[in-house]
Amino acid sequence: MKAIAAIASAMLVQSIAAAYLEIGENVPTEEMEVRTVGPGGGGYLYSMGLSSLTNRLYVGCDVGGFYRSDDLGRNYKILNTGMPGIMMNAISEHPTDPDTILVGSRGGAAITRDGGLHWKSLRPVAKGVVKASLYDSTWPIRAAAWSRANPKRAWIGTGNWNRHYRTTKDQAMVWRSDDGCETLDMVVAKDSPLLNEKQIFAFSPHPTNADEILCTTPGGIYLSTDGGVNWTKQTMGLPTDPRVWARWVCHSRSNPLVVYASFVQFEGKFDPKHPHESGVWKSTDGGRSWTKCGGMKQNPRAGSWVSAFWNEACVFVDPRDENVVWASGLCFFQDSVWKTVDGGKTWQKSFNSKPQGWLQFWGRGIPKGMAMCPSNPDIIAYGNSGTVYVTEDGGKTWHQRYTGSLDEKYCCGRGLEVTCLSGIVPDRAVKDRWYLPYMDLGLMTTEDSGKTLYRTTKGIPHEDIWDGTCFSLLQSPDDPRLLWSTWGRWGALGKLQPGGIFAVSRDAGENWNVMTNGGWTIGPWPYLAHVKGKAGNDILFAVNKQVQVSVDGGAHWTTNAFPYPERAISVASNGGDVFIGTDHNESVKNGFNGSLWHSSDEGRTWENLTAGVKDKIADIMSMAFYGDAIVFSARHPHKADRGGGIFLSKDRGKSWTKVIGFLQSEEVRFLERGKGMPPRILVACGRRDACDPTVPCGGVYVSDDFGENWRRLIAPGFDRPSARFVVPDPFNPDELWIGTGGNSVFVLSPRKDR
């Protein structure tokens, strides 16, 4: 390992030494025991699969990666070891070997041959793939399928999961393998009209002819009869409106000439004077000509949005009967599954029930993945924007399979944790009580160390989903029942307030009082810090592109005279001192570094502790303190070489050393280890889905010698997650709570056999 350069005590400020552990270097590991904590569900369930082993269910999520259940969703395991991407778009089980699974994600394609326990990126064996990038999604895979006619043949197709994320080259491309994915070739002919499309949504290989395959794109349906080399666009009987996209296609295995496909309207509002074009189309000649199926009464309200861009709009045909078809996601926010038993002449809603489980405050979800069990087609799994439902009797009854709800108040996860934390706060006075601020879910509390949770948002307005995200939470050092918190919508401003919401609870979060008339103007994503005033008053600082201060515990707020308020993004306190971290600014000539500012007089004056540092510093995300030592984490959102990492000072900011160079450093903490021993440094590192899969980013890193040596914590299922927070249990410091951007909470503890 690389040693820290010696700090020159005679220098007031020092340029950061170049000798530090850099991303990609081999780091020793320490194996831990692990358990998951969370309510279950919560994220978009993009893709699903049901195994020929009957009880095995696969779920692919937007932020959490790949999950497997061996009991049809009653319990899950997170299986991301070796996975190149965590935004999972496609899952395809091998037709004869259920332990071989092909997946597509925004980070590329991967394969497992042991049921998901270990994954191998297919980028190294795929010819013609754009070079991997740390930040750009150069090989996003949207579609993947095996051939039943030739089980060694498979196809994968490129495609972004949504229009807001663009690749280096937005173009529909197809790779094919004829050796079980040992190698992959880009097979589309250079003059193929398919290359004019931006992405491929789904494949349907012919059940008995290995050279024939259909695919769906925003521009329609394409057919290949030579294994994917040449493609022709099929137009006979299909929609011509460019706002209507082909989303899913499926052959009948009992009669391969019969094919069904779904189309959804990409944008616009419903107009009763014009037909709504979303629906299911049927072909009886292998996809050459089509007719629209009738009998599907969607009944959107006049003027309501009918855009189904976010919907997967899946279609599956019962392998025993060409006339039994399942479809979902054909109209925005119509959280339902349709079924026909007469070949599409008439349809009935099979799933249209009231939301089950704890996740009901959103109302109905956005339709996402669906799957049919190949060995028992009466088993159907359906996922939406947060929940999973399963029927085992052909749609007569449906049961939620995402959470272990205990009653109307309490819930407990079953391993399908697909949520993002915005903080983790232990109750310093009450053992086993933790406050978990979530994005999109509000605030949840556990009083038994994560065995059960309940939502604590009473008093926060539900209008415009202001209770959806709890951005930050502080516990008073004097009164453990006194909590301060900030709330708002994730990713958008609402109508209720011009900015976020500040609220106070005096009963440990059971009830909240929104402080709306005290001058609070700060926008969403505000972070809080607390110091005790010289007069014994509670002084609060709130930061996010503004700096506001309250000297009366949050009742009234004023703008602070911080020098660069528009760049302030993080805040922390140490005793009576306040520290603010800023972002970097590359739009200015020569660029502005991220900077760490300090005030010892309740925010009246500020000192830049990093003013003399010549090297690059990215956005400063968090800080920690131990005696005269200060450590901060920096993260650059787009560039690997722009100052991301961990920076350490042993002399209260007079000189600095960069001790670790991970580009996605989210949070850093000191942990006291005993008299005469240096503190332990804990680092939580995020993970970008577009990262080069060879880069070992993500996870938790530990140093016991002020950054000279590092080790990475590992555990089954805990494989480089997008770790955002690392918090020791105040009653058991060896137990670490890891808050993630996709898998809720992992709790790590030393192995009992050591």
**Mean pLDDT, rounded, for 541-569:** 93
Q: What confidence category does residue 674 fall into, taking pLDDT thresholds of 50, 70 and 90?
A: confident
Residue 667 pLDDT greater than 90, yes or no: no
* pLDDT over 90, % of the chain: 59
151-165, 407-421, 422-436, 516-530: least confident range: 151-165
What is the pLDDT, as a whole number, of residue 520? 85
Residue 169, pLDDT > 60, answer no
| Residue 361, pLDDT score | 76
pLDDT, mean over the chain? 86
Question: Is residue 694's pLDDT more than 80?
Answer: no
Higher pLDDT, 128 or 568: 568
Q: pLDDT band for position 696 (50/70/90)?
A: low
Tell me what pLDDT residue 106 has: 85
- Could you tell me if 217 and 192 are in contact, meaning their C-beta atoms sit under 8 angstroms apart? no
Please tell me the predicted confidence (pLDDT) of residue 77: 95
Residue 519 region by backbone torsions, left for phi larger than 0, else alpha for psi between -120 and 50, else beta: left
Count other Cβ atoms within 10 Å, centred on residue 425. 24
Q: Which of 269-273, 277-281, 477-481, 554-558 has the lowest mean pLDDT?
A: 269-273
Q: How many CA atoms lie within 13 A of 107 on its CB side?
A: 29
> For residue 641, what pLDDT is reported?
55
Top-confidence range, 159-163, 203-207, 611-615: 203-207
pLDDT, tens digit (0-9, with 9 covering 90-100), for 311-352: 778 999 999 999 999 998 776 556 789 999 999 999 998 987
Report the range of poorest mean pLDDT among 21-25, 462-466, 528-532.
21-25
Distance CA 463, CA 308 (A): 24
Question: How far apart (Å, rounded) are the C-alpha atoms in residues 388 and 59?
Answer: 9
Structure confidence by residue, pLDDT tens digits, 177-209: 999 999 999 999 999 999 999 899 999 999 999
Contact 101, 419 (CB under 8 A): no
* pLDDT at residue 576, rounded to an integer: 93
Determine the pLDDT at residue 622: 93
Which among 609, 751, 747, 728 has a CA at the least distance from the CA of 668? 728
pLDDT of residue 85: 84
pTM listed for this prediction: 0.91
Range name among 15-29, 397-411, 541-555, 573-587 with the lowest pLDDT average: 15-29
pLDDT of 663 > 70? The answer is: no
Q: How confident is the model at residue 17 (pLDDT cuts 50, 70, 90)?
A: very low
pLDDT digits (tens, 9 = 90+) for 702-739: 999 988 888 999 999 898 788 999 999 999 999 999 99
pLDDT at 497 over 80: no
pLDDT at position 635, please?
A: 82
Residues 153-174, mean pLDDT to the nearest whole number: 69
Contact yes or no for 514/503 (Cβ under 8 A): yes
Q: What is the dihedral of CA 528, 534, 535, 541, to 10 degrees?
A: -10
The confidence score (pLDDT) of residue 91 equals 97
pLDDT in tens, 64-104: 999 999 999 999 999 998 888 888 999 999 999 999 999 99
Can you tell me the mean pLDDT for 534-555?
A: 93
H/E stretch holding 536: none
Q: Which one-letter DSSP state was computed for residue 331?
A: S
Q: What is the mean pLDDT of residues 209-223?
A: 96
Strand partners, 35: 747
Which pLDDT does position 50 carry in this prediction?
Answer: 96
Please choose, from the candidates 542, 538, 562, 536, the residue with its C-alpha nearest in 3D space to the C-alpha of residue 551. 538
34 pLDDT more than 50: yes
Q: What is the pLDDT of residues 145-156, one digit of tens each?
A: 999 999 999 999
Tokens 């500040």 sit on residue: 502
Distance from C-alpha of 677 to C-alpha of 545, rounded to nearest angstrom: 38
What fold characterizes domain 21-25+432-680? Methylamine Dehydrogenase; Chain H (2.130.10)
Structure-token pair, residue 181: 């994915």
End-to-end CA gap in the chain? 25
The three-class DSSP label of residue 445 is strand
